[in-house]
Amino acid sequence: MSMTIKNISDYLEKIAPLNQAEDFDNVGLLIGNETTEVKGVLVTLDTLEETIDEAIKKNCNLIISFHPIIFSGLKKINGNSYVERVVLKAIQNNIAIYATHTALDNSKIGVSAKMCEVLGLTNYSILLPKEDSTIGMGMIGDLPKPMLEDDFLTFTKKTFKTNGIRFSSKTGKHIKKVAVLGGSGSFAIADAIHKKADAYISADFKYHDFFKAEDKILLIDVGHYESEQFTKNLLVEYLTKKFTSFAVILSEKSTNPIYYL
């Protein structure tokens, strides 16, 4: 039985309804037609030119990307920026692109829940719930056993496979309750403190954000890509449960634009 892009997007919307994305976002089918028959799916965090090349090589005509390649409006497509080149190459090769982004961020089984899973947290719940509390940004949960701060920092660095983490001054407390939020999460520091988290793992903290810890919490910046890297696995696991008539492939390429020395 053949499957169309609409069949897949309808299924994705069960965990990441597009109407729960943030207003500023650009989610859903960005390039392509929903009636197209799917030959193969490539799941990635970002869509770059090399991602299109990988899709072509692996005979995938649908890319499911966490971040949207088209974020703000495009007034022309001349190939003068990486965004324009990706769009051109996708169209020229009949490859569709679907993005989940904050629709999946706000899911209770989405990005932050996956972070909790890899950290082994239990009893986790939404950190910043929306009105009906069934969706929202971030998660907060408990470690199976309390950890010393140094041990938890080492554990976090290893878990998120990063060559460097940035963190606020140590509080001297054991770490038991942990808040997480994939991507840029400085806006939730106060909420993590209010909910009595011992540590808060997120990304893109600026210099002055670290002062907000005020010895009440251990703030840990693991990097934007690193905090969201397991989202690809989440999507592949979810899609392979449902679809067997085509390949669902986890992208092998790291799209992290940041390097460490």
Taking only the tens place, the pLDDT of each residue in 84-108 is 999 999 999 999 999 999 999 999 9
Which pLDDT does position 228 carry in this prediction?
97
pTM of the model: 0.94
Q: What is the pLDDT of residue 245?
A: 87
Angstrom distance (rounded) from CA 15 to CA 107: 6
**HEC readout, 177-246:** EEEEEEEECHHHHHHHHHCCCCEEEEECCCHHHHHHHCCCCEEEECCHHHHHCCHHHHHHHHHHHHCCCC
Average pLDDT, the chain: 96
Domain boundary among 39, 71, 104: 104
- pLDDT, residue 248, reads 96
Is 239 within a domain? no
pLDDT value of position 218:
98
Any domain includes 77: yes
Q: Domain with 65 in it: what CATH number? A: 3.40.1390.30
69 lies in the same domain as 146: no
Q: Both 123 and 222 in a single domain?
A: yes
Q: How confident is the model at residue 261 (pLDDT cuts 50, 70, 90)?
A: confident
What is the C-alpha to C-alpha distance for residues 90 and 60, in angstroms, rounded to an integer? Answer: 11
Same domain, yes or no, for 214 and 111?
yes
Domain that holds residue 98: 5-104
Q: Is the pLDDT of residue 130 over 80?
A: yes
Task: Report if residue 160 sits inside a domain.
Answer: yes
d(CA 234, CA 153): 24
DSSP 80: -
pLDDT confidence tier of residue 140, bands split at 50, 70 and 90? very high
Query: Per this entry, what is the length of the chain?
Result: 261
Exposure b/e, 126-160, CB count within 10 A at least 16 = b: bbbbeeeeebbbbbbbbbeeebebeebbeebbebb
**Do 85 and 114 reside in the same domain of the chain?**
no
Q: Is residue 94 part of a domain?
A: yes
